[in-house]
Amino acid sequence: MQIKLWINGKMVTEDVAADTLLIDFLRAHGCLSVKRGCETSNCGLCTVFVEDKPVLSCSMLVARVNGKKVTTLEGLQEEAEDFGAFIADQGAEQCGFCNPGFIMNAIAMFRENPDPSDEEIKQYLAGNLCRCSGYEGQLRGIKAYLSFKKENGGVC
């Protein structure tokens, strides 16, 4: 079937099989930040935005995204670098494998709730699993980033 969608602002038209998953389509189009971590819709590593909402691309048919706008980490480089530096400063991650999904969902959180409490941060990011850390470094990194933004009058 023929579909048309926008990947990071670029229009793509293609023939796809009915059961092609969004993750595979995106990887075939060069978005290699989108990865499979679990195959059980639990780890959050494959997080992308569809119409600006974070979803699991491993569990969504690309056919369902026909006519829609998809954003991956490749399309959010500036925001991701900005925030990622705060995570790195805390030495939050060890292997870094979970990082793309985590950054995507954190950006979604900053947009939806620019001033989250610790509990709200934990709730929002509960679907992003990290097997190296205990999430403390990430929490510190997020709080440091939010404080920096607040002090500098920036909008997250």
Question: Residues interacting with another protein, by CB under 8 A?
Answer: 1, 18-19, 40-42, 44, 47, 53-56, 59-61, 63-64, 105, 108-109, 123-128
- Residue among 40 and 117 whose Cβ is closer to another protein: 40
- Residue among 45 and 87 whose Cβ is closer to another protein: 45
- Residue among 126 and 132 whose Cβ is closer to another protein: 126
- Residue among 51 and 81 whose Cβ is closer to another protein: 51
Q: Could you please report the per-residue DSSP string of 73-119?
A: GGGGHHHHHHHHHHHHHTT--SS-TTHHHHHHHHHHHHHH-SS--HH
57 token code pair? 């691309």
Q: Is 98 in contact with 129 (CB distance < 8 Å)?
A: yes
Q: CB burial class (10 A; 0-12, 13-18, 19+) of residue 82?
A: middle
CB of 8 to another protein, least distance (A): 18
CB of 18 to another protein, least distance (A): 4
DSSP code for 38: -
> Between vectors from CA 17 to CA 14 and to CA 1, what angle results, nearest 5°?
55
CB of 26 to another protein, least distance (A): 14
CB of 75 to another protein, least distance (A): 17
